[in-house]
């Protein structure tokens, strides 16, 4: 970039071109950051945090919790194969909110394992970025759990919020990671765009919680 151009700043946030490309970008790229896209130092730092969280989250897991963790990981993996159309493109279910509700603080290991599977089998996300992706999505599940355990709200509202945060928190973290990797400020639009997806996910989470409450209430803490 020529130094003389740096003084000529365009702050036209409402530009149509800007909004259109950001929307296309965000819808397609969301969640699965492939290898080589973000800075290696960011990957290493996020990977270290992610491994620590997997250790803390899985520490002292009981025998009864292991099949639920395995099944939740498999469900997250299968859910990622179910695509539905949204605003001219397709997106898949995340289920991080419901994972957080069911698994609580044990959410990180299944999310990590599910992303390892997605990376190896479908190349959705990479090996080096596995830590970044796990951190983003595990944090979404963790936020879902934190909301769920606050008992002063109605259960339905908590389910809606858990589903909503299950998408918004990963998006927030991803926008920070892209900014740290040198991408421009347009990435902050992630939040505004992904509100639609977060609303869809929160409705699905509410439906799932109500169904589980009716059919197998022991699953819900």
Partner 1 sequence: MKHSFLDKYSNLNSPVHRLDPRVKTITALCLIVIIVSEARGEIFPFLFYIPLVAIIAGVSRIPWSYIIKRCLIVSPFILLAALFYPLSQMLTQGYHSLGAYSHEFMVGLSVILKAYSALILLILLTSTEKFHNILLGLRKLKMPKLIGVISALMYRYVFLIHDEILRTNLARESRCPGSLKMSRFKVYGNQAAMIFVRSLERSHILYSSMLSRGFNGEFPSMRKFSLKGTDLLIPGAIILMVLTIRLTSQNIHNYLFN
Helix, strand, or coil here: 85?
strand
Tell me if 69 contacts partner 1 by CB under 8 A.
Answer: yes
36 contributes a contact to partner 1 by CB under 8 A: yes
Alpha helices in 39-129 (DSSP H): 40-58, 65-79, 96-103, 108-117
Contact assessment for residue 142 and residue 104, using Cβ atoms and an 8 Å cutoff: no
| Alpha-carbon span 43 to 36, nearest angstrom | 10
> By CB under 8 A, is residue 78 in contact with partner 1?
yes
Q: Does 37 sit near partner 1 (CB under 8 A)?
A: yes
Residue 68 sits in the site that holds partner 1 (CB under 8 A) = yes
Of 75 and 146, CB closest to partner 1: 75
Tell me the C-alpha distance between 65 and 62, whole Å: 5
Maximum separation of any 2 CA atoms in the chain, in Å? 66
- Separation of alpha carbons 194 and 107, rounded Å: 22
Residue 94 binding partner 1, by CB under 8 A: no
Q: C-beta of 114: minimal distance to partner 1 in Å?
A: 7
Q: Is 160 in the site for partner 1 (CB under 8 A)?
A: no
- Residues in the site for partner 1, rule: CB under 8 A? 1-2, 5-6, 8-10, 15, 18, 21, 24-25, 28-29, 32-37, 39-40, 43, 54-55, 58, 61, 63, 66-71, 73-75, 77-78, 109-110, 112-114, 116-117, 119-124, 126-128, 182-187, 204, 207-208, 211-212, 215-216, 219
């Amino acid at each position: 970039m020529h130094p003389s151009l740096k003084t000529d700043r365009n702050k036209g946030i409402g530009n149509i071109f800007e909004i259109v490309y950001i929307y296309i970008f965000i819808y397609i790229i969301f969640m699965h950051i492939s290898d080589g896209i973000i800075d290696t130092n960011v990957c290493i730092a996020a990977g270290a945090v992610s491994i620590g969280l997997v250790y803390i989250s899985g520490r002292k897991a009981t025998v009864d919790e292991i099949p639920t963790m395995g099944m939740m990981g498999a469900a997250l993996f299968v859910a990622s194969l179910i695509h539905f159309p949204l605003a001219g493109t397709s997106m898949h279910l995340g289920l991080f909110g419901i994972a957080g509700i069911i698994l609580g603080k044990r959410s990180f290991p299944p999310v990590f394992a599910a992303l390892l599977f997605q990376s190896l089998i479908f190349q959705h996300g990479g090996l080096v970025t596995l830590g970044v992706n796990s951190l983003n999505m595990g944090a979404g599940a963790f936020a879902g759990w934190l909301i769920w355990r606050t008992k002063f709200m109605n259960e339905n509202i908590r389910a809606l919020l858990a589903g909503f945060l299950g998408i918004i928190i990963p998006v927030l973290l991803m926008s920070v990671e892209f900014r740290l990797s040198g991408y421009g400020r347009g990435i902050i639009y992630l939040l505004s765009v992904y509100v639609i997806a977060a609303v869809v996910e929160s409705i699905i989470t509410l439906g799932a919680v109500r169904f589980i409450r009716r059919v197998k209430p022991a699953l819900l803490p």
